[in-house]
Structure 1
Amino acid sequence: MAHSPAPDQGHDITRNALYRRITLRLIPFIFICYLFNYLDRVNVGFAKLQMLDALKFSETVYGLGAGIFFIGYVLCGLPSNLALNRFGPRRWIALMMIAWGSLSTCLLFVTTPTEFYALRLLTGAAEAGFFPGVVLYLSRWFPADRRGRIMALFMSAIPVSGLLGGPFSGWILQHFAAGQHGLAGWQWLFLIQGLPTVVLGLLAIKLLSDGYQKADWLSAAERQMIAADLEADAASKPVTTGESVLSVLRNPLIWTFGFIYFCIQSGVYAINFWLPSIIKGMGFDSPLLIGWLSAIPYLLAGVFMILVGRSADLRNERRWHLVVPMLMGAIGLLIAVNFAANPTIAILGLSIATMGALTGLPMFWPMPTALLSAGAAVAGLALINSVGQMAGFLSPYLVGFIKDQTGSTDAALYSLAGLIVVGSLVALRVTRKGALQAARAH
């Protein structure tokens, strides 16, 4: 097995200093991009508070529109990641952001269910390659023993988007409630939150490097150190996987990872799309107050996510750092359902659910990135992500359909909690077979 070389004496390079500098160079911008990515994806949860009445949409229409995004997402995830690998992350990420930012902004022009469905489908297709592309991109900069905290830093954009996006979305809806310049509050929401993504896409061309090999801000010795670390990773991978798309499709481990990710995302999207409505159902009517209350679970989740990510890397332990948060997600949903009449306990339950479900996301990704070879990762990560993101279609649609049929979201949230528990048991089985040996070998 290859080992990291000693620091170059002339430049007094240390691994920690090098990776800290790379983190500061890459993560803040990628974090902001992912923040707006997630905001553009889930802001329909707040737009719903006014959009349904204005356009006379049913809960089922909303659930289908919220979820159909992920049909485009799933269909285009794999080809988009292959294109990113072909044309380079810098250009492809920029193109994706400009496209989805424009499409998300155009949601303000929606007047019929068909238009709503079409734009959500196209927005999902445009966004499809961003997340798996960034996971692949970061795996080519950071060795496996650092990916827990890096993924937590990157994916903390999800709770931060909820923390900032909730109050901000509530303020937009309330401030523009009477309509200004011919646009309603929900239309201003799509406009104000969609256009910055286009600007970030243009900035990506200048601010991102295609890889450490082409980063002119690194010295030759620093590039050599990164190369040695990544070569050591490659040598220690216990799972050998063919690099063709067909071999990836035939690999049962990748499909198992996809199912685990599907279970995690089922809880995440139930929270993201329905948290404002669940809080409103507790008796709160002010959009601004709903926004502030919805920020509480995300604030706690952001802190918890980073702490767990650091703990996982420091202890070189992945198994329980994934499973425990998943179980927290299920328990939190059950608390929220059973204490809906008590807003304090219900919001505590939603906070536990959000902390657990969202922390499960970054704790999951070090597993497949530690196991897949560089070539297999291009298709494998995209496929795992696409399978998991199918939950983004099924979860909100299931909640909307059951609410229309029963007048309550309780049965749907019970079902999703059960699914998360099943996913945690599968994750335990995978890790028991030794699938995390690569992550622990460093």
Structure 2
Amino acid sequence: MFNMFRRRPPLPPFPPGGLLVGGAARDWLRGAAPKDYDWAVPDPAQAARAMADGLGGSAFALDEERGYWRMHLPEAPHHDFVPLPADVNDDLLRRDFTVNALAVTENKKILDPVGGQADLRARRLRMVSAANLRADPLRAWRAARLERTLGFRLEPGTEAVVREVAADLADGTLKMPAFERIRDELHALLMHPDAAHGLKRLEALGLLALTLPELSEGIGLQQGGFHHLDVFGHGLEALHQLLARLPDAPLPLRWAALLHDVGKPRAYTVDPATGRTHFYGHDKLGAALAAQMLDRLKLPANDIKHISRLVEAHMVPLPAGEKEARRFVHRRRDLLPDLLWVMLADREAARGPSSSKASRHAYAAAMGRVLEALEDRPAPPRPLLTGADVMALLDIPPGPRVGEIMRALNEAVALGEVADGAEARAFVVGWGERHAPH
């Protein structure tokens, strides 16, 4: 059980005249080592530089105009420095939640103007005021994130205001926060071991539709067959299954598991003759939607591309034999092993009436074949010919045909059908004869 008076971790030396504030003070008071340190100090630049000199780190301005500085030390918590307010209590009263409206002095005196310590003991997340939440609506997302990451529960009055903020954002009464800020809250939530329940809480509070409306479209859309959950619930369960098996899964893989079926609501059709539900093309549609959603959240372009390709590939049939397994690895090497993780999470999240021990065993065997092929050839084989060689052999100019031949040759090498330069040249000549333009 939570005990606010358990042994607290040691604190680093305080900057002269400084206070430990916000989440760092909160975590220290509940007996957890702060992930990062937030200091309010008389001179942020001087304090950051002095700490950097003492620890061998680097100091730099985060916001020169407002006087925000950071001290960075590789593989260590960073330290942020902001100007010490003239009235500390007044500054704390402008914070989001009571458990964040705390400060600690160098002699361990606790400044607590709104009862944050009592809320820490009760594991309760309570707003400082409704006006504070409305002043920065991002705090609504932070409420959902802190509930999950701290293991606290929103106090009923605070939850009501969070719902009001969501409604006012939806109708335009309040202005949406920048999506980069929302993304950071989402990523903090997604990195939690129980991220799936955190996302479900976002939906319950009315925040998911503001953030990922495409994901919300799956709520209530039943699938049948292997599936026992609606499309939205299945995505959450796939994320849960992934994290149960791979707790350290990177963010792009978490996104791919969550979004793998995001195209289903817009691909939904019903066969008029049989009444059966179909989602033809949901993989390609989902890949495009995933890219659109993640671009809106300003994720790095390389991450968006990788996630989108995983979504598009998640329906690819697994191989039935060794040769097909080598082909699978050759064609999708840059997606492995992530693609297998997404496919496994998808499969384990289904478990509907069509699922059986036999089908799960067959699926596991097919995955095993892919892993064996990947282990047997962890890197792509060295090309035996160049594009220039192909053009010379077939007496053709540069163009798409050269690339087509090179892809066919490289796959033949990966499958063990071509072993050396002589066989490669014979393959190219034969390919050219079979595919000669009419």
Structure with the bigger RCO (C-alpha within 8 Å, sep 6+) is: 1
Structure with greater strand percent: 2
Pick the structure with more helix per residue.
Answer: 1
Q: Do both share a fold (TM > 0.5)?
A: no
TM-score by length of 1: 0.20
Higher Rg: 2
